[in-house]
């Protein structure tokens, strides 16, 4: 194999692909990146057997071939080269690299030891505008669980319901649901949250639409020249819709920025109490107050003007509340609940509500 590529393109591709190459693996080949000529382009690929990332970059191919090289060394070396052309030439299991006054040789491994890249027979394909998918991922992965004892909760549930495509996630303490788009095919898939985090990392300002292809066991997400193929999580996602209150007795309509500000202030005093803050909806005063206590430092009460329907009180985790507020895009939001032990629902205070965030209360 012999070819010429630019340092900029190669470095970017190595940063994208190298994320899934793990140094902590019993299989040394999994800490390598596959380099392979693919018609008039260079294919780079890495996998940890759960997820595979492939990117193709343009180059001047003089001789076809393939090799695998250590991901970390290759990525760090190329990123430190000056901008310009880089010549890559393979001799058996050695990769010779030339760029300006730099000449290096990296010991690799034969490409036939590299796992077969996953193939997918798409049963359903969805094309989503990049802005919609990017925000939907941000709004849902934040509540996915880190607890591997319940694998289905470590993913985002991509599914159709009544003619619409949804993303949903929960860790048992909070829940997020986002409408993606109208969609008439039936899809039920749990995508690992980590896979969607990798998708966020490869989206650029120039990315347009993103394609998602599903078969029974895998999803492939196409972002520009990058293919991310991941196993789906096996299992049945909880029937989360029964956790969303159909109606609430108490609601406060208020400005998101002001609510975020008083919550941040209250959280400073809530560190000793596990982040516990108590919110009071006051109908007569038309205000929502938030109270927190730090036994050694003092206490805090802050208020924000709000359109309040009934008096009520609820205690929440301040971190969960702040993260939920960061997921609401509308400048005005609706904070709704039915009492101390009922779930709190946060949505945009508008007719178009494509996002819901539910937080379970703390026992005060």
pLDDT tens track for 174-188: 999 999 999 988 999
> Are 235 and 256 in a shared domain?
no
Whether residue 15 sits in one domain with residue 98: yes
Q: Are 235 and 190 in contact, with CB atoms under 8 Å apart? A: yes
% the chain with pLDDT above 90? 88
| 263 shares its domain with 181 | no
Average pLDDT over residues 28-43: 95
Residue 226 lies inside a defined structural domain of this protein:
yes
The single residue listed with the structure tokens 């925000």 is 135
Query: Is 258's pLDDT higher than 80?
Result: yes
Residues 52 and 97 in one domain: yes
Average pLDDT, the chain: 94
Q: Is the pLDDT of residue 363 over 90?
A: no
Same domain? For 272 and 222 the reply is: no
| Least confident range of 88-92, 204-208, 282-286 | 204-208
Which of 51, 82, 113 delimits the end of a domain? 113
Q: What residues contact 248, with CB distance under 8 A and at least 6 apart? A: 336, 337, 338, 342, 345
Examine residue 352 and state whether it is found in any structural domain, yes or no: yes
Determine, yes or no, domain membership for 118: no
pLDDT bracket for residue 364 (50, 70, 90): low
State whether 233 and 252 are in the same domain. no
Residue 364, domain member (yes or no): no
Q: Of 185, 209, 242, which residue sits at a domain end?
A: 242
Give a yes or no: residue 143 inside a domain: yes
Work out the average pLDDT over 121-145. 94
Q: 98 exposed, middle or buried (CB, 10 Å; 0-12, 13-18, 19+)? A: middle
**Domain membership flag for residue 299:** yes
Assess whether pLDDT exceeds 90 at residue 273: no
How many domains, in total, are found in the chain?
3
With 80 as the cut, is the pLDDT of residue 25 above it?
A: no
- Does pLDDT of 70 surpass 80? yes
* Rounded-to-integer distance, Cα 179 and Cα 238, Å: 18
End-to-end CA distance of the chain: 67
Determine the pLDDT at residue 91. Answer: 95
Instruction: Report the distance separating Cα 302 and Cα 300, nearest Å.
Output: 7
- Per DSSP (E only), the strands in 20-162 are 32-38, 41-47, 51-58, 60-63, 66-70, 85-91, 94-99, 102-107, 124-129, 155-161
pLDDT digits (tens, 9 = 90+) for 188-215: 999 999 999 999 999 998 998 999 999 9
Whether residue 203 is found in the same domain as residue 131? yes
Cβ 303 vs Cβ 289: under 8 Å: yes
Residue 332 lies in a domain: yes
Of residues 85 and 184, the one with the higher pLDDT is 85
Looking at the fold, whether 67 and 92 belong to one and the same domain comes out as: yes
Which residue would you say has higher pLDDT here, 158 or 298? Answer: 158
Whether 22 has a pLDDT exceeding 80, the answer reads: no
For residue 176, what are the domain limits? 124-242
- Per DSSP, 171 falls in state -
Return the CATH number at 24: 3.10.150.10
In angstroms, what CA-CA distances link 44 with 9, 31, 88? 11, 13, 13
Are 261 and 347 members of one domain?
yes
Give the pLDDT mean for 162-173: 96
Count the residues in the chain.
Answer: 364
Same structural domain, 151 and 76: no
Q: Within this chain, do residues 254 and 206 fall inside the same structural domain, yes or no?
A: no
User: Does residue 251 share a domain with residue 234?
Assistant: no
Of 86, 113, 140, which one is at a domain's C-terminal end? 113
Tokens 């860790």: give the residue: 171
Assess whether pLDDT exceeds 80 at residue 296.
no
- Binning pLDDT at 50, 70 and 90, where does residue 17 land? very high
């Amino acid at each position: 194999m012999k070819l010429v590529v630019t340092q900029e393109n190669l470095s970017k591709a190595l940063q994208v692909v190298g994320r899934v190459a793990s140094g902590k693996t019993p299989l040394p080949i999994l800490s390598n990146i596959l380099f392979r000529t693919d018609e008039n382009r260079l294919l780079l690929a890495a996998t940890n057997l759960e997820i595979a990332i492939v990117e193709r970059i343009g180059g001047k191919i003089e001789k076809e071939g393939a090799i695998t090289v250590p991901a970390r060394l290759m990525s760090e070396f190329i990123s430190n080269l000056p901008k310009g052309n880089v010549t890559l030439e393979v001799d058996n299991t050695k990769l010779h690299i030339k760029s300006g006054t730099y000449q290096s040789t990296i010991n690799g491994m034969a490409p036939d030891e590299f796992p077969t890249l996953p193939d997918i027979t798409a049963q359903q394909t969805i094309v989503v505008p990049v802005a919609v998918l990017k925000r939907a991922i941000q709004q849902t992965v934040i509540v996915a669980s880190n607890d591997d004892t319940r694998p289905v909760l470590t993913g985002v549930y991509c599914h159709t319901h009544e003619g619409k495509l949804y993303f949903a996630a929960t860790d048992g303490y909070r829940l997020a649901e986002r409408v993606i788009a109208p969609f008439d095919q039936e899809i039920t898939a749990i995508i690992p949250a980590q896979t969607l985090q990798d998708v966020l990392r490869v989206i650029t300002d120039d990315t347009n639409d993103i394609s998602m292809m599903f078969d029974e066991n895998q999803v492939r997400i196409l972002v520009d020249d990058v293919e991310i193929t991941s196993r789906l999580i096996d299992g049945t996602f909880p029937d989360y819709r029964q956790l969303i209150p159909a109606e609430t007795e108490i609601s406060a309509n208020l400005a998101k920025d002001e609510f975020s500000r008083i919550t941040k202030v209250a959280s400073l005093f809530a560190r000793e109490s596990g982040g516990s803050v108590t919110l009071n909806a006051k109908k007569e005063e038309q205000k929502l107050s938030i109270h927190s206590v730090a036994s050694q430092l003092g206490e805090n009460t802050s208020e924000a003007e709000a359109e309040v329907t009934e008096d009520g009180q609820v205690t929440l985790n301040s971190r969960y509340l702040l993260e939920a507020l960061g997921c609401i895009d509308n400048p005005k939001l609706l904070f709704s609940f039915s009492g101390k032990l009922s779930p709190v629902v946060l949505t945009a205070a508008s007719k178009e509500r494509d996002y819901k965030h539910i937080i379970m209360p703390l026992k005060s």
